[in-house]
A and B are shown apart, each in its own frame.
Chain A
Amino acid sequence: QLRLQESGPGLVKPSETLSLTCTVSGGSISSSSYYWGWIRQPPGKGLDWIGSIYYSGNTYYNPSLKSRVTMSVDTSKNQFSLRLSSVTAADTALYFCARQLVNVVVPTVSDYWGQGTLVTVSS
C-alpha cells in the first residue's frame, strides 16, 4: 500500500523559508507513471495547488507562487521536497503531498495523499 508522509517544522518565522519533505513508501518515486505534488489548505479554506515534480526533476509550479517555490526530488531516499521562501502569515496552511497520475506529459489527478502537516507562520 502506497504511503506518503510529510515532515518538517510546524512553525516558521515571517520572511524565512518553509521547508517540507514528503517520504514515499510502498512504491517508487522513480516511476514514469507519476508526478509528485504539493497542495496546501489554509485554515477553513479550499485546496490550493503549489506545484508538481517528476522523478527526472521536471517541475510545474502555481504561477502565483512560482517566484517563491522550489521543489526537488531525491530518488535515492524516495523523497521529494518543497521550499517556499519569504513566507508571510498568508502561507499558514495544512500542507499535503500527493501522488499524481501522468497524462501524456503532465500531472493530472492526485490519487494518493499524505495526511498533511500544519505549518504556521508566526514570529
Chain B
Amino acid sequence: SYVLTQPPSVSVAPGKTARITCGGNNVGGKSVHWYQQKPGQAPVLVIYYDNVRPSGIPERFSGSNSGNTATLTISRVEAGDEADYYCQVWDSSGDHVIFGGGTKLSVL
C-alpha cells in the first residue's frame, strides 16, 4: 500500500518561511493536495494539484512536487498559520485516497 510520510512537527519563527514535506515513492508522478486543520475545525484545502491555491487562500501558501517529495511552503508565517497540515494523493494502484500522517506547524 502506498505511504505518504510527513515530519510530525515543524517549528518556525513569525515572518520566516515554513516548509512541510510529504515523501512518497515517485510522489512527483501523482497530484498532491494539502489541507490545513486548526483545533476543533474541519480541514481546509490550501493547495491542490501540487501548486494551485483555492480562492481565498493567501499567496503566502505555495506547493511543489518532484521526485519523491512534495513540499508545502508557507512564506512570511503568521501566528494564525499554526495548525496541522496533511498531504493527500489518489493511489491509482490501489484505487484509494491516501493521507499523510500530518505535520503540526508551531509558530514560535
On A, residues with C-beta under 8 Å from B are 37, 39, 46-49, 52, 60-63, 96, 101, 103, 106-111, 113-116
Contacts and interface: CB of A to CB of B under 8 A. Distances in A.
A109 B88 contact: yes
A46 to B, nearest CB: 4
Contacts, number: 67
A47 B90 CA distance: 14
B99 A114 contact: no
Interface of B: 1, 31, 33, 35, 37, 41-45, 48-49, 54, 84, 86, 88, 90, 92, 94-102
A107 B44 CA distance: 17
Nearest to B94: A63
Most buried by A among B54, B86, B90, B97: B97
A39 to B, nearest CB: 8
Task: Specify the main secondary structure of chain A where it touches its partner.
Answer: strand
A60 B96 contact: yes
B95 A60 contact: yes
A61 B97 CA distance: 9
A113 B43 CA distance: 7
A113 B38 CA distance: 14
Given A49-B97, A49-B99, A108 B45 contact: no
B16 to A, nearest CB: 25
Contact of B101 (A46, A109, A113): A46
A61 B42 CA distance: 21
Given A60-B96, A109-B88, A116-B42, 14 more contacts: A39-B97, A46-B99, A47-B86, A49-B96, A49-B99, A60-B95, A62-B96, A103-B90, A107-B90, A109-B45, A110-B43, A113-B43, A113-B44, A114-B42
Contacts of A60: 95-97
